[in-house]
Amino acid sequence: MALPTFFVIGAPKAGTTSLHSYLDAHPQVQMSAVKEPRFFGGPENGIAYPADHVGSRDAYEALFDPAIATRGESSTDYATHPRRTGVPARIKAAVPGARFVYMVRDPVARTLSHYRMTTALLGERRPLEIALGDCSDLMTPYISPSLYATQLELYLEHFPAERILVVDQADLQADRAGTLRQVHRFLGVEEAAEAAAGEEELLSSSEWRTYPSGYAEFVARHVAPRFRWVPKGLRRGVRSKVEGVIWKPVKAELSPQLRERLQERYAPEAARLRELTGKEFATWCV
């Protein structure tokens, strides 16, 4: 039985799934088979966890191999205060020497992508303008994950800055090999050659549709693995044609007014994040 030595705490739709997959391919790293166990997320407090939430200490420790020195998990709930509170303190009590890779993304683009994802996978049916409102409700799933400085400051109350690496999804996309080498150095493992990690099913927002509840997860977990032998392009083409007959695509876009509200909401956070990290985040719109 063992606990993780590091955590990927990035926001939803900021590249955590890709990074989890890339790190799991490293011979000196073991990532949890359940990508988001959410063990340290705390009580539900009215916000239900999905069915694969790992709630018991024994089940959580069973996810990790004590024979591998560098062990990690990736739970986006760990950086969504105030929806999930007290996470850094709970991790500090259990893993005082933990390291963190915090994946971030242009906060406006992340919010839109998050809404599209919940529409496709989690049954969101409210129009975008209604779901986001005036962008002040931090208990919605969309706003608090983009308050990067607030989340980082909470972790800095419990862990030294040198144990937290902030990674911009744009850097992972533009220079995957170089960004992974940076993460490898941070974790103290060999800078391995870039791993060939397959893309996860249903992660391309251009292919998302208004699936019925549970459908997308069923396909990703039970159907897609049976057809890995089929070339990716053919697999996606067949799915797109079949699903296109049944379900409408997700085509939510930000109006100029809503985009402006989001930019005003996130600009102070982005400024504080630049001060905290020394990074430019040059591709962001705020």
Give residue 202's pLDDT: 41
Please state, in angstroms and as integers, the Cα–Cα distance from residue 2 to each residue in 33, 68, 73, 126, 277, following that order: 14, 10, 12, 42, 31
Please list, in sequence order, all residues whose beta carbon lies within 8 angstroms of the beta carbon of residue 59, skipping any fewer than 6 positions away.
none
Per-chain mean pLDDT for the chain: 88
Interval 168-199: pLDDT, tens: 999 999 999 999 999 999 999 999 765 544 44
Please list, in sequence order, all residues whose beta carbon lies within 8 angstroms of the beta carbon of residue 151, skipping any fewer than 6 positions away.
9, 11, 79, 80, 81, 102, 144, 145
Give residue 213's pLDDT: 62
Top-tier CATH class for 6-277: alpha beta
- Strand order across the beta sheet in which 6-8 lies: 29-31, 70-74, 6-8, 99-104, 164-168
* 249 phi/psi in degrees, rounded to 5: -70, 155
Higher pLDDT, 222 or 6: 6
Enter the DSSP assignment of 149.
H
Mean pLDDT score, 139-146: 96
**Is residue 99 a contact partner of residue 29, using CB atoms and an 8 Å limit?**
no
Which range is most confident: 49-58, 147-156, 230-239? Answer: 147-156
Q: Give the DSSP letter string of 101-131.
A: EEEE--HHHHHHHHHHHHHHHS---S-HHHH
Confidence at 51, pLDDT banded by 50, 70, 90:
confident
Listed range (11-15, 172-176, 245-249, 281-285) with the worst mean pLDDT:
245-249
Confidence at 253, pLDDT banded by 50, 70, 90:
confident
Q: What pTM, to 2 d.p., does this model score?
A: 0.86
Question: What's the CA gap between 270 and 281, in Å, rounded?
Answer: 9
pLDDT over 90 at 131, yes or no: yes
Higher pLDDT, 234 or 5: 5
Secondary element (H or E) of residue 29: strand 29-31
Confidence at 203, pLDDT banded by 50, 70, 90:
very low
**Is residue 104 a contact partner of residue 148, using CB atoms and an 8 Å limit?**
yes
pLDDT over 90 at 236, yes or no: no
